[in-house]
A = this chain, B = another copy of it.
Amino acid sequence: MNKINDIFKDKNLKLTPQRYAIYKFLKSVKTHPSAEMIYNELKQDYPTMSLATVYKTLKTLIELNLVQELNVGEDNFRYDANVDIHPHIICLNCGKVDDIENTNFDNLKKDVLSYTDYDVLSYKLYFYGICSECKKGR
């Protein structure tokens, strides 16, 4: 995790323990947590950290393109330290957010370019369904 160190130095930002912990946690996890979830998790190791710091740090990390924000359709945002464009799938039953991996939608952007007069810069794909655990439990 040297990358973040250099990026922060580059921008004359301070890499505080809180910032490092939030990024490291997001990197280590595939659950796409909300700010509140991150806060509750890190409270154990950083009991004095406030929710406001989590929000401020997330905003900073997004500006540095180290984290992306997901809008799955809940009342809050989810965060993902994998900033590559990749689709997500949300369980309509338990609310879990998963990556869809190994897919290749590179051609999608090209397709869209031919249907619109926008300059297309990026995209977000959200799929909705029922996860395997929720399917079992019925």
Contact = CB atoms under 8 A, between A and B. Distances in A.
Contacts of A8: none
Nearest to A69: B73
A interface residue count range (under 10 / 10 to 19 / 20 to 34 / 35 or more): 35 or more
Contacts of A108: 105, 108
Interface in A57-76: 69, 71-73
The 6 tightest CB contacts between A and B, nearest first, are: A118-B129, A120-B129, A71-B71, A117-B132, A123-B127, A119-B130
A123 B128 contact: yes
B111 A103 contact: yes
A72 B123 CA distance: 10
A121 B105 CA distance: 19
Looking at chain A's contact residues, is the secondary structure mostly helix, strand, loop, or mixed? Answer: mixed
Contacts of A91: 118
Interface in A89-112: 89, 91-92, 98, 100-103, 105, 108-109, 111-112
Given A71-B71, A89-B112, A112-B87, A117 B102 contact: no
B92 A121 contact: yes
A92 B123 CA distance: 11
Contact of A118 (B111, B123, B126, B127): B127
